[in-house]
Structure 1
Amino acid sequence: MSETPDHDNPAASPAQRPLLLLVDGSSYLYRAYHAMPDLRGPEGQPTGAVHGLVAMLTQLRGQFAAEHAACVFDAKGPTFRDEWYPEYKAQRAPMPEDLRAQIEPIHEVVRLLGWPVLEVPGIEADDAIGTLARVAEASGHRVLISTGDKDLAQLVTPHVTLINTMSRESLDVDGVMAKFGVPPDRIVDYLTLMGDTVDNVPGVDKVGPKTAAKWIAEHGSLDGVVANAASIKGVAGENLRRALDWLPTGRRLVTVRCDCDLADHVDGWPGLEALALREADREALLAFYTRHGFRTWKRDLEAQIGAQIGAQMGAANAPAPAGGSVAEPVPRMASDATAPAAAPAPDQRYDCITTFEALDAWIARLCAAPLSALDTETDSLDAMRARIVGISFAVQPYEAAYVPVGHDYPGAPEQLPLEEVLARLRPWLEDAGAAKVGQNIKYDRHVLANHGITVRGLVHDTMLQSYVLEAHKPHGLASLAERHLGRSGIAYEDLCGKGVNQIPFSHVAVDQATTYSGEDSEMTLQVHATLWPQLEAEPRLRELYERIELPACEVLARIERIGVRIDAGVLARQSQQLAQRMMALEQEAHAIAGQPFNMGSPKQIGEILFVKLGLPVRKKTATGAPSTDEDVLQELAADYPLPARILEHRSLAKLKGTYTDKLPQMVNPATGRVHTNYAQAVAITGRLSSNDPNLQNIPIRTTEGRRVREAFVPPEGWSMVSADYSQIELRLMAHISGDANLLKAFADGLDVHRATAAEVFGIALEQVTTEQRRYAKTINFGLIYGMGAFGLAQSLGIEQKAARDYIDRYFARYPDVRRYMDDTKASAKALGYVETLFGRRIYLPEINGGNGPRKAGAERQAINAPMQGTAADLIKLAMVAVQETLDREGRASRMIMQVHDELVLEVPPDELDWAREALPRLMAGVAALRVPLVAEVGVGHNWDEAH
């Protein structure tokens, strides 16, 4: 083992030293497993952690020109720390089976990528990393350790740096001091005082990061703290004195060993030649990617191999140069070309536009470009109130322009005036023939509309492209760039910080903002160039994108911009009534309990219900305490009065806090209306979600919840009109399954629940009782959602055998519904997804690889998702059809909400007859099914009356 180097007198400057790149594989195994979705390969094998590791290693290799590297994993079996302290890591849960199944393929693919893999029995990965780092440093290397483990901060020196690829955090000596409050050579002391709950290493009780750093700063080191233990006051001082005998053991446990003998695991030790990065084995990688279903990487690798073969053939067939020699064959590509991050990125050029001459030159480029990317930087995430701080464009990869117009920090450079910039950009922005692409273009539409500009020509949205192609994955630009380009850009938090310390974008330095915004634009252009060919290759997905998602995006922007009129007085009265009812419920609950308690405290509720009253415990929380969640209270409420009061109190408190109190506060002062945001790329089924405020979750099963809709009112003299698809999912079940009896019930215009009851109970339609119809309705909707006998029995309050009999009778009368369910589950298992009638793919990762309950849930989802997804597609098509008709006919009526299968409009008096006739016709006409599509229209003075 070499001696520790003299850090103050390095033999070479850091820039001159060769780089050793060390990856804490064991740390990233777990982080990748929990961070990634539950991805599955063609045979249902879990692949999320594999995917995460490959992406991370590819990113690192593309970012850092390392000559040597190692990916270090913990070996199986005990280590020397277990001998020192048998309780070491004793509380750790066993490795999840889905992660354990990925260990072997992870090791395989890491080696195929050209990385040396190191596992050393008897020591932890941290100790191997520490030893390698010190040897490399002594031999003149600089060392970069990729990890998420704070313990390794003790290894940092002027030549050893930590990087966390997931948080994009880099820690040098100053960074360690800034983050932890102690220098790297005091991290061991710091950890000893705090202890490590993850590894079950006790520290000083009640001593956290702040106290540990404070003590070390005051006394210089752990030894200094121990020497002064008698003088440290308070409870912390008492705890320190009680821990004095333990601290030497604790220090041994948290100290990373840097003198391990790796001779049996690293050839030529203590040299590093065995850790030289190698070229990837591309043929074997191709087979690996195929086996594990990594289609994008497989396609990229095939293209690279094909390009190389073509280049080699071209070189072989080229005429010999003067002198008679033949050109050298193209060398085999290194492993950093095997994934999207392959080749080193060309130099990036981001222009900061501060003169009108430069702006005009860029506008000319934008006007001449076949497609341009656009991005706005603003002072708010509220799209309706955001004002522009800067705007960026790109027409080709790695090149962009940023026009700062609102940076107002002290010393900010002079910027072009916003109004003049927008005036010059307006012709291009409003030109429908100037094709533009953006990421989440609905937001940019709003921002520019706030400044009086109607953007046209927004022909592509990378967020929606990703949503159509891979709805089960994240769709943020950072995720898309990392997944499809192998690039990681600057994070917003890197510039502005987080939480209470976050600064507005207008305070970001202009040069940093130029890089950040320029990067967003040109990466958007590159992501589009990657995703669009994939859509073009899938005609049904392309049609879904072009016919449904893009037009719906434009309609949603208009709906959001119009907003909803709220009667604040109605809500104020409801809030007062809710408060009175909540107070009465609280008094009743206290009387039942025999003492006062906090109705909002699960702990106090648990003590009253399960300790004082002795109610049966139905389930427990993760900490072992009896659960008081809604399911438990619902079950207990059937037999005991107090849980029923608590449930009602909770529902009223939620209604009051979320709607009756809050909605008036959300009125935009500029418009006098409430403006929700419809998130288009969230639900994998294609359903829209409403937020800020959520207008889709206003409860309608209670009288109080329904009354909230009374406050949604049209302008004076106008009417609120609701157009709602009738029994849409049941109609879709009839169409998709093709069941003759179900089709006939709808074709004859029967009450389908009454018809089902007649079929199931074997009686005439006119003999069906109200109770039998209720049973049939529960069966109809339950089976759509994949409900089994157990669930149906609970819903109807009957024995499980009786529920099974009902289901058997149902399937006897509707045999093609059973066939559809069986076929759909089989197809989902084979493909990993189900499809809507319009080709939307709804991926079900756990259909093959999940555990029992999760797999059963995926099977239920497979049955329902085609109907729920198709219903989502239909309502989007209906929105587009209604808006096109409103525009074409010049109607004053306007859509203001979309809620589940319902469209809500404000309609003037002279257009009411048109609305009653046109809306059902337009909504029924968006698709031709084997059953009639029916939309029912209601009219009222408020939303509740209309619905």
Structure 2
Amino acid sequence: MSKPILLLVDGSSYLYRAFHAMPDLRGPEGQPTGAVRGMVAMLKKLQSDVGAEHAVCVFDASGPTFRDEWYPEYKAQRSPMPPELRAQIEPIHEVVKLLGWPTLTVPGVEADDVIGTLCCIGAKEGHRMIVSTGDKDLSQLVNADVELINTMSNERLDEAGVLAKFGVPPDRIVDYLTLMGDTVDNVPGVPGVGPKTAAKWIAEYGSLDGVMAAASAIKGKAGENLRAALDWLPMGRKLVTVKVDCELAEHVPGWPKLEDLAFREPDKARLGEFYVRNGFKQWLEELTGTAVVAKPKATTGTAAVANPGLFDAPEPPAGAADIERKYETILTFEQLEAWLVRLHAAPLVALDTETDSLDPMAARIVGISLADKPGEAAYIPLQHSGPDAPEQLPLAAVLARLKPWLEDDSAKKIGQNLKYDRHVLLNHGVNLAGVQHDTLLQSYVLEAHKTHNLEALAERHLGRKGLSYEDLCGKGAHQIPFAQVSVDKATTYSGEDSEMCLHLHSVLWPQIEADAGLLRIYRDIEMPTADLLARVERHGVLIDSEKLKLQSHEIGQRLVLLESQCYDIAGQPFNIGSPKQIGDILFGKLGLPVVKKTATGAPSTDEEVLTELAADFPLPAKILEYRGLSKLKSTYTDKLPLQINAHTGRVHTNYAQAVAVTGRLSSNEPNLQNIPIRTAEGRRVREAFVAPEGFKIVSADYSQIELRIMAHISEDPGLLRAFQEGQDVHRATASEVFGVALDEVSSEQRRYAKTINFGLIYGMGAFGLASALGIEQKAAKDYIERYFTRFAGVKRYMDETKARAAERGFVETLFGRRIYLPEIRGGNGQRRAGAERQAINAPMQGTAADLIKLAMLQVQAELDRAGKQARIVMQVHDELVFEVPEAELDWMRAEVPGLMAGVVALKVPLLAEVGVGGNWEEAH
């Protein structure tokens, strides 16, 4: 007879994970509900999956525990609970009980220790325990009677599972945790010892005690750190050990009677009221068996903006367990023809390519998956070469049959980051058309501050856990190419990607469609920008590799000279790339003042410290110059020639859309947006970006775009007047701040005003301004006060923006893009201050990002309409870079500034300036 199951839920772990996994959902009254919704969903799934009759959900009690008495710094560095989560604690406790779950909170005892004690008692009484948690600490409880389950990853850990995951058995998890320490709970371990080293030492020496006994024999820095930590480790072990003998009698009446922890019937009446109060429409319908009529959603005014996820927001659809999945492997032309019929009949089809490379310009197709409805997909293996690979259809023949549908603009398609698949198909001569949706961009528009990979999206929005790439191919040096994955596994993996994409679309798209601002950002900006970026990336930019090689040689000579100068000042050679050796020289030998320390207590030698010291001492200045040139050489002059595509002779960057929360594009492999231009050497790198014979490089960029946006949204009369009258805005600011006539403003006063203008739109305070100007903090404070007296509209904007952001949790651009600021209500003081600075700047930077995307689209549309050969080759923040035939230069000079300035009508004029040259630097 099998043992009865006692299901133990780490409720505190659950509520935090639910909070961070769910979007910022709101109930009918604007109250946060994401954590409540996630908690209910996880408990419902857990109860269904495990099938236990007895359970208890254990929560941490507020206030100190016995560990705080042992070690006052225990958990001292934890950030306070975010207010949005704190507001959901009471509702979570309420709904867990209404669902029929027994709950337990023991004052002075952590949930882990309560669970550990219940496991011990339960085992003695003949029960089998399943502990549901995401906390690795509880792995120490696993034995023949105790198993862990993680609802978010669907991971189950028995004794063998713990050993496989951590490299140590359950009875050595305490030793393992002691050596590593726990930064979350502020429990120090051995500095520099991570999971691999901890597991290796325990395997070699048997236990923590064995490791400590062998400390004198362990070499290197790790051994040194271990010996320094020996006195602490016994306390560390005590802190990470889960207690299994807590006194629970007064908190669990009648224990160990199992029936006292039996599931109760849900309190349907009060549960229904709870669902109504929190806007859980689908669960209310399930509970009552009656459809609930949704309230009409406001489309204008503040209510629709302030309370995202209101009562009628769609519930996530059924999770993986509720979807019957059917993935077909296409190995015959008959199967392919049958699917072609389905593709032409489907209103929307998800597409995904499996390839042999992450480089979109080089990747070749290994297989293609297609899905026309959630749960159903097909995988066409084309280049699998494993030992058990079946005979596959010829790649060329398959693409020939798919090409008419792939290139049909009326055949609507969806995917996850289809820009990549577009490049892959172009590598095979297929020009993908009809791209209607992209779940990567849907997620980005809805919640830019979260992760957007398909696996994370499915788990967050669908409660589904799919196969990961590592599950199929392994990791690191042992990872195999996708072509060697078995076709059966590849069908599951790729089919899942396609049909999960459709499933996600059914959840994400209604949320975007219901909000006019988000719909505009997605439909009118992000989706067409993705199409244009594919064109820009495909064309690439021409690089003069010989010029870069010459620059690299010259920088190398300069580095040798700087190295020699550093040695002369220091009085000895040292490794300029070693922070430790730099610290020894600066603070040990030369006795320079220590500005700040690292987390380990060593004097910091980061850029901020060296910059401060460089004002008074020569060696830090030389080290900074060396670092800058060394990075320029390794990142650009050495590396760019190696990144030239052998087939095109050009460099092809990748513009990532779903990275910066403000909407800015991110350039990578190579990064063409961060070439340093404050130094002559950095500007010279731009000389290597050239045009082919008969062409010129044209640069078009917005002038003072963020300041103009500030004037528009703050409606400050002084700023509006300066821009409307075409004044030098920095001179006008200096005139106001320093109380002098415009024509009497000195160059120094203008420089100060420029720093103030740009500093304040980034939320800079008196300390930051003082540092930037090299003046006393009191003087900087006086300048800021004078500025705000003269430009009261700017001050009002900043105060109102911070207050509104704290209330809503996000700010918006002029076009409706939402920029979420999680720390503005939940972070500690320093993080909250950072979020407030971001709240001030993000609407301007985000609006500027929207504007440059709209400008790209407008200019490209006009180039296409006019039949011009000019091509956009780069986008660098507020600048567009073109490759233009010489015959079209007059047209570009005449048309492009007006096209960019006319993207949107603001209360101040937009100004775009155009420059022309044989290379990018000349065009400035």
TM-score (norm 2): 0.86
Q: Given that residues 680 and 687 in structure 1 are in contact (C-alpha distance below 8 angstroms), is that contact kept between their aligned partners in structure 2?
A: yes
Q: Secondary structure of the equivalent of 2:58?
A: strand
Go from structure 1 to structure 2 and tell me whether the alpha carbon gap of 1:730 and 1:760 turns closer, same or farther (over 3 Å shift): same
Q: Which residue of 2 aligns with 1:552?
A: 529
In 2 relative to 1, CA 116–944 (structure 1 residues): closer, same or farther, beyond 3 Å? farther
Q: 2:469 maps to what in 1? A: 492
Q: Kindly provide the amino acid, as one letter, of the partner of residue 283 in structure 2.
A: Q
2:450 alignment counterpart:
473
Distance, in Å, in 2 between the alignment partners of 1:37 and 1:304 is 18
Query: Which AA in structure 2 matches 1:209?
Result: A
| Letter matched to residue 517 of structure 1 | S
Residues in 2 aligned to 1:646 and 1:58: alpha-carbon distance in whole angstroms:
59
Classify the secondary structure of the residue corresponding to 1:97. Answer: coil
Query: What whole-Å deviation, never above 9, does each CA across 1:510-563 have from its counterpart, x for those lacking one?
Result: 222222222221221121111211122111221221111111111111111111
2:620 maps to 1:608: no
Partner of 1:834: 811
Verify: 1:652 aligned to 2:653, yes or no.
Answer: no
The 1:878/1:77 distance shift into structure 2, 3 A limit, reads: closer
**Residues 521-670 of structure 1: matches in 2 within 5 Å?**
521-670=498-647
Is the aligned partner of 1:212 residue 2:202? Answer: yes
- Please state whether the residue corresponding to 1:816 is helix, strand or coil: helix
- Is 1:935 paired with 2:918? no
Kindly state the Cα deviation for residue 371 of structure 1 after the two structures are TM-superposed: 1.2
Identity, % of aligned positions: 65
Separation in 2 of the partners of 1:372 and 1:497?
Answer: 30
Secondary structure class of the residue paired with 1:946: coil
Q: 1:808 to 1:849 in 2, by over 3 A?
A: same
Answer yes or no: is 1:817 the counterpart of 2:794: yes
| Deviation for aligned residue 1:478 | 2.3
Q: Is the 8 A contact 2:872 2:881 kept in 1?
A: yes
CA distance in 1, matches of 2:534, 2:86: 46
Does the aligned pair in 1 maintain the 2:821–2:835 contact within 8 Å?
A: yes
Distance 1:408 1:150 in 2: 39
Partner Cα separation in structure 1 for residue 340 and residue 493 of structure 2: 20
What is the aligned partner in structure 2 of residue 321 from structure 1?
none
**Structure 1 unaligned blocks of 5 or more:** 1-10, 292-297, 315-336
Q: What SS class does the counterpart of residue 311 from structure 1 fall into?
A: coil
For the pair 1:429 / 2:406, whether they are aligned, the reply is: yes
Which deviates more from structure 2 when the two are superposed, residues 582-591 or residues 111-120?
Answer: 111-120
Pair 1:395-2:380 in alignment: no
- Given the alignment of the two structures, is residue 378 of structure 1 paired with residue 355 of structure 2, yes or no? yes
Kept after mapping to 2: 8 A contact 1:350/1:514: yes
Is 1:187 the counterpart of 2:177? The answer is no
After superposition, what is the alpha-carbon deviation per residue over 1:839-882, rounded to whole angstroms, capped at 9, x for unaligned?
11222233344333333332322222222111111100011111
Counterpart of 2:779?
Answer: 802
Distance 1:282 1:485, change over 3 A: farther
1 CA distance for matches of 2:598 and 2:387? 51
Tell whether the 8 Å contact from 2:216 to 2:227 is kept in structure 1 after alignment: no
Equivalent position amino acid for 1:781 in 2: F
Q: Residue 24 of structure 2 contacts residue 32 of structure 2 at CA under 8 Å; is this kept in 1?
A: yes
* Partner deviation per Cα, 1:414-460 (whole Å, 9 max, x = no partner): 32222222222112111111111112221121122222111111111
The equivalences for 1:765-804 within 5 A come to 765-804=742-781
1:254-403 mapped onto 2 (5 Å cutoff): 262-278=248-264, 298-299=278-279, 301-306=280-285, 309=288, 311=290, 344-403=321-380
Whole-Å separation in 2 of the counterparts to 1:76 and 1:727: 51
Q: Which residue of 2 aligns with 1:21?
A: 7
1:539, 1:167 → 2: CA distance? 35
Between structure 1 and structure 2, the one with the greater Rg is 1
- Alpha-carbon distance in 1 for matches of 2:320, 2:363: 38
Deviation at 1:283, TM superposition (A): 7.5
Secondary structure, counterpart of 2:441 in structure 1: helix
Is 1:712 aligned with 2:689?
A: yes
Match of 2:484 in 1: 507
Moved more, 615-624 or 118-127: 118-127
Structure 1 distance, partners of 2:59, 2:418, is: 43
Q: Give the drift of 1:387.
A: 1.8
Q: 1:313 to 1:208 in 2, by over 3 A?
A: closer
Match of 1:901 among 866, 875, 878: 878
Distance 2:816 2:653 in 1: 29
Aligned residue in 1 for 2:102: 116
Q: State how 1:97-116 maps to structure 2 within 5 Å.
A: 97-98=80-81, 105-106=88-89, 109-110=92-93, 112-113=95-96, 114=99, 115-116=101-102
2 CA distance for matches of 1:67 and 1:913?
80
Cα distance in 2 for partners of 1:714, 1:770 equals 37
Cα distance change of structure 1 residues 648 and 43 upon mapping to structure 2, 3 Å threshold: farther
C-alpha distance in 1, partners of 2:552/2:433? 43
AA matched with 2:203: A
Residues 87-134 of structure 1: per-residue CA shift (max 9 Å, x gap): 579665354322699579447515513343334467664454345446
Query: Partners of 1:799 and 1:713 in 2: how far apart?
Result: 45
Matched, 1:68 2:68: no
Q: Summarize the alignment of residues 98-247 of structure 1 with structure 2, pairs less than 5 Å apart.
A: 98=81, 105-106=88-89, 109-110=92-93, 112-113=95-96, 114=99, 115-120=101-106, 125-133=111-119, 143-150=129-136, 152-157=138-143, 160-165=146-151, 169-180=155-166, 184=170, 187=172, 208-216=198-206
Q: State how far apart, in whole Å, the 2-side matches of 1:872 and 1:792 are.
A: 25
**Structure 2 residue matching 1:699: 3-state secondary structure:** coil
Q: How far apart are the structure 2 equivalents of 1:729 and 1:626?
A: 37
Give the superposed CA RMSD.
Answer: 4.1
2:654 is equivalent to residue 677 of structure 1: yes
Match of 1:740 among 714, 717, 724: 717
TM-score, with length taken from structure 1: 0.84
CA deviation profile, 1:206-258 (whole Å, cap 9, x unmatched): 98422422455xxxx999x89xx99x99559x999999999999999887666
1:70 Cα deviation from its structure 2 partner: 2.9
Q: Secondary structure at the match of 2:690?
A: coil
- SS of residue matched to 1:162: strand
Kindly state the Cα deviation for residue 60 of structure 1 after the two structures are TM-superposed. 3.8
Q: Work out whether 1:689 is the aligned partner of 2:666.
A: yes
The verdict on how the C-alpha distance between 1:874 and 1:251 changes in structure 2, with shifts beyond 3 A counting, is closer
Aligned residues of 2:137 and 2:177 also touching (Cα < 8 A): no
Q: Which amino acid aligns with 2:587?
A: F
Distance 1:663 1:598 in 2: 26
Provide the C-alpha distance between the structure 1 equivalents of 2:576 and 2:289, rounded to a whole number of angstroms. 73
Q: State whether residues 634 and 647 of structure 1, in contact with CA within 8 Å, keep that contact through their aligned partners in structure 2.
A: yes
CA distance in 2, matches of 1:192, 1:805: 52
Q: 2:809·2:821 contact (CA, 8 Å) conserved in 1?
A: yes
Q: 1:720 to 1:242 in 2, by over 3 A?
A: closer
Q: C-alpha displacement at 1:360, in angstroms?
A: 1.6
Q: How many Å separate the matches in 2 of 1:261 and 1:222?
A: 28
Correspondence for 1:7? none
Aligned CA distance change for structure 1 residues 813 and 541 (closer, same or farther; 3 Å):
same
Distance in 2, matches of 1:912 and 1:241, equals 70
Name structure 2 gaps, 5 residues minimum.
Answer: 294-313
Q: Tell me, yes or no, if structure 1 residue 439 matches structure 2 residue 425.
A: no
Change (3 A) 1:497 1:800: same
Question: Contact between 1:836 and 1:870, CA under 8 Å: does it hold in 2?
Answer: yes
> Per-residue deviation at 1:348?
1.6
Give distance in 2, aligned partners of 1:565 and 1:338: 50
Cα distance between partner residues in 2 of 1:205 and 1:672: 44
